[in-house]
Chain A
Amino acid sequence: MEQAPADRERQLQPAPLEPLGIPDSGLEAAFEEEAEGPQEEGTRDGTMTENNFWLKKMEISVSEAEKRTGRNAMNMQETYTAYLIETRSVEHIDGQSVLTDSLWRRYSEFELLRNYLLVYYPHIVVPPLPEKRAEFVWHKLSADNMDPDFVERRRIGLENFLLRVASHPILCRDKIFYLFLTQEGNWKETVNETGFQLKADSRLKALNATFRVKNPDKRFTELKHYSDELQSVISHLLRVRARVADRLYGVYKVHGNYGRVFSEWSAIEKEMGDGLQSAGHHMDVYAASIDDILEDEEHYADQLKEYLFYAEALRAVCRKHELMQYDLEMAAQDLASKKQQCEELATGTVRTFSLKGMTTKLFGQETPEQREARIKVLEEQINEGEQQLKSKNLEGREFVKNAWADIERFKEQKNHDLKEALISYAVMQISMCKKGIQVWTNAKECFSKM
């Protein structure tokens, strides 16, 4: 049972990439239809409409949000927001859409769906949910979860989440996802019946693996660094943006005071009066314009936030890899030590310290029969171990291959989306400047007529 060291090494290294295969999700392929991006709230396009294999298209939208009161698990009254999810199937020929399903879900159900997806698709960069609580707020914006603006932005975020999942080549086929969109009652029970919570890796195990793994794939290590950097830089950017927005708000709003004072002043002026009055009106317009401008910017911030949260999804994939790799390393180590034990028993030499060896020394040697029995047991274990190692190795390679494919897909999506977002930011600035020129030109005219 000699093990060539080179062999052992190879077994511990992740395998090089091979052509894509479909992972074993353990569930039937859900539905055959492919989802397409919505026509409304046109923030997303491009990547959504790429997977156009199927004849029947589906439109998903989160069209409404409603405040509700109900009783929670502890029979206490609570207020929450429910979101209406509408699914439409678009007949290919005449383009008319028919409402096929419509149901209400609350945020916690979205969370449940996502947690399920995380467990069953650990090699996929699972799209993130919009934030639970408002962060990176500037002073005007409410941090209250019940605030209508926050609810509205969350509605858009949830719709975005569903669209991302629906346009993912693998996730879109998941049955639980399909049921989420179509089966209102009992869905929670169905998810829990899958027992996914039990399958989930414990946090502690994952942390342990991160520290102890010896030979993770370098690409995953780099990816981890990248996701840390992405998270840090986007957080920083969002914080400063919020402060800048605050200041800009101040500049605009103070001008509004001119409007009031000019108006009062114009009452005592004869020649200057009209000019003052109308200039004052333009100052009011200027002050009011900042609300829409910052509303638009908030959408931009949300686009960045999505990628802030995606960083966590990336890290989750890296963690899974580390866990699997660590598992593999442990299994190989275990196998190696068993083989060594076996060898020692067979040859009678004691190279390594073992409790058995010590007790043998203290209490006398064992009989050849006992030794034979032990060798047999070990040999069985070794066999088992080798089988396991082989399958773990295969699993590991499959995982790396598939994960990396999804990461490449994600990278392209990210580059496209972020570039679009930055360009849309420029467009917003241009619009703001044009408005500014308009207002001040009008004001200047009024002033010059005074």
Chain B
Amino acid sequence: MEGERPAPRPRSAGLPAGGAGAESAGGGAPLPGSRGAPALLQAEVLDLDEDEDDLEVFSKDASLMDMNSFSPVMPTSPLSMINQIKFEDEPDLKDLFITVDEPESHVTTIETFITYRIITKTSRGEFDSSEFEVRRRYQDFLWLKGKLEEAHPTLIIPPLPEKFIVKGMVERFNDEFIETRRKALHKFLNRIADHPTLTFNEDFKVFLTAQAWELSSHKKQGPGLLSRMGQTVRAVASSMRGVKNRPEEFMDMHNFIETFSQKINLIDKISQRIYKEEKEYFDEMKEYGPIHILWSASEEDLVDTLKGVAGCIDKCSKATEKRMYGLSEALLPVVHEYVLYSEMLMGVMKRRDQIQTELDSKVEALTYKKADTDLLKEEIGKLEDKVECANNALKADWERWKENMQNDIKSAFTDMAEENINYYEQCLAIWESFLTSQTDLHLEEASEDKS
């Protein structure tokens, strides 16, 4: 292939190449990432992108970004550093493709759980291989989310689907529930992959590539339970004190999130309700058509007309089914994701407030204490930097999130409108063709009578 970028350098096997179906780590093999991703070829033209693959470049300011992170230093490239401030999405440069599929049930003596297969295809150098296949369960996703939140307290981490849905759950793992969850998990991972910062998170990489036992041991690293608990206690305590000096832009953000959360929840309820009503409409329609057929058995002269009407009703009900399906694919998951996002955002706001509170309390302490002022001042200095970084990170991510939200919502509702238009157009054609056939017959009969 012309213009193909060079294969990633083979690395010593620190981690074995993951899963079946992983291509050889050696050179020469065509990159799976480049199939169907013509953008990669484009990317070559821009010299800048050479660096994305280069793991070796660490940002000096990395320590500032990972305030509470105990995970290994996050590798960043100069380009992604720039992205962290501007967060320009460059979908053309996508080099990480993730799919979540094949839910499987596992039964042990203690419990039953579902694992999902995760296939990752990438051309990035920092990955040992270009293709990985692993199995993960919901708990693992939770862990990943927790780690990401730890590492980036003021970034907007994509939401996970709920743990369980309380109402109407007879069987914990019915097919519909699993499928909805699978799609949401797929979205979750892809959103992380698309995020300019999160995509390079080390825990993320481990999640995608490590075998089960490797993941377990990796999970055990990091802060112990006690220190995590300590953090939580501090967080709760500070949130209870409240934030006095929340800057105006974050006030605006807070207010927006509150209203948005309200509205998106309502829209979620409305959309679910519409789906339910459509389903019940569809169920009734199933009985409606056949009655006309039954009737036609006793009416010699109306057989054509009655059968015609029955046929139209049946076809329209199929169109209804299609519309329902479209709704459940295009609209419901998107709206629901943003319901979860709005909860996330509240959490992000709280964490930002908490960081600021830390600073504020130290400043307050300074005005009262006279001893240890130097130490305090040093701490305050660090905290001020921390607050600034956190605020900047949030601001930038907020803009990015808002833009994404607008696009997603716009897209979802446009699709919904499209589904409805298709539905009505189909039904229109069905009934019009029936009408034409009836009037044609009528004309035929009329001319027969005359002759």
CB of B277 within 8 A of CB of A240, answer no
A272 contacts which of B281, B305, B406 (Cβ < 8 Å)?
B406
Which B-chain residue is minimally distant from A433 (CB atoms)? B428
CB of B417 within 8 A of CB of A257, answer no
CB of A233 within 8 A of CB of B295, answer yes
CB of B431 within 8 A of CB of A261, answer no
CB of B267 within 8 A of CB of A419, answer no
* Given known A-B contacts A254-B273, A268-B259, A433-B425, A447 and B414 have beta carbons under 8 A apart: yes
Secondary structure class of chain B's binding surface, majority of residues? helix
Which B-chain residue is minimally distant from A415 (CB atoms)? B301
CB of B409 within 8 A of CB of A272, answer yes
CB of A254 within 8 A of CB of B305, answer no
Size category of the A interface is 35 or more
Q: Give the docked Cα–Cα distance between A434 and B302 (Å).
A: 27
Q: Which B residues touch A241, using CB under 8 A? A: 288
A80 close to B (CB within 8 Å) = no
A244 contacts which of B267, B285, B299, B306 (Cβ < 8 Å)?
B285
CB of A247 within 8 A of CB of B428, answer no
CB of A254 within 8 A of CB of B421, answer no
Q: Which B residues touch A434, using CB under 8 A? A: 424, 428
Question: Which among B180-188, B214-222, B432-440 touches the partner chain?
Answer: B432-440
B325 close to A (CB within 8 Å) = no
* Given known A-B contacts A429-B431, A430-B435, A434-B428, A447 and B413 have beta carbons under 8 A apart: yes
B142 close to A (CB within 8 Å) = no
CB of A444 within 8 A of CB of B298, answer no
CB of A426 within 8 A of CB of B274, answer no
B118 close to A (CB within 8 Å) = no
Q: Which B residues touch A271, using CB under 8 A? A: 406
B420 close to A (CB within 8 Å) = yes
Q: Which B residues touch A226, using CB under 8 A? A: 298
A265 close to B (CB within 8 Å) = yes
Q: Which A residues touch B431, using CB under 8 A? A: 426, 429-430, 433
Interfacial residues of chain B within 247-296, with CB under 8 A of chain A in the complex: 255-256, 259-260, 263, 266-267, 270, 273-274, 277-278, 280-281, 284-285, 287-288, 291-292, 294-295
B387 close to A (CB within 8 Å) = no
**B431 → chain A closest CB, angstroms:** 5
CB of B434 within 8 A of CB of A254, answer no
B267 contacts which of A229, A246, A261, A437 (Cβ < 8 Å)?
A261
For A174-185 the 0/1 string (1 means CB < 8 A from B) is 000000000000
CB of B421 within 8 A of CB of A240, answer no
B119 close to A (CB within 8 Å) = no
CB of B435 within 8 A of CB of A433, answer no
Q: Which A residues touch B255, using CB under 8 A? A: 268
B192 close to A (CB within 8 Å) = no
A237 contacts which of B274, B280, B295 (Cβ < 8 Å)?
B295
B418 close to A (CB within 8 Å) = yes
User: Residues on A close to B: CB < 8 A?
Assistant: 226, 229-230, 233-234, 236-237, 240-241, 243-244, 246-248, 250-251, 254-255, 257-258, 261, 264-265, 267-269, 271-272, 275, 279, 415, 418-419, 422-423, 425-427, 429-430, 433-434, 436-437, 440-441, 443-444, 447-448, 450
Other than the given A429-B316, A436-B421, A443-B417, 17 more pairs (CB < 8 A) read A233-B298, A237-B292, A240-B284, A244-B285, A247-B281, A250-B281, A251-B278, A254-B277, A257-B270, A423-B435, A426-B312, A426-B435, A429-B427, A433-B425, A437-B425, A444-B417, A448-B410
Q: In the A-B complex, list the 7 residue pairs whose CB atoms are closest, starting with the nearest.
A: A444-B417, A436-B424, A247-B281, A433-B428, A250-B277, A265-B263, A440-B420
Contacts A/B (CB < 8 Å), 24 sampled = A234-B295, A236-B294, A244-B284, A247-B281, A251-B274, A251-B277, A261-B270, A268-B259, A271-B406, A272-B406, A415-B299, A419-B302, A419-B305, A422-B306, A426-B309, A426-B434, A430-B432, A436-B420, A436-B424, A437-B425, A440-B421, A441-B417, A447-B410, A450-B406
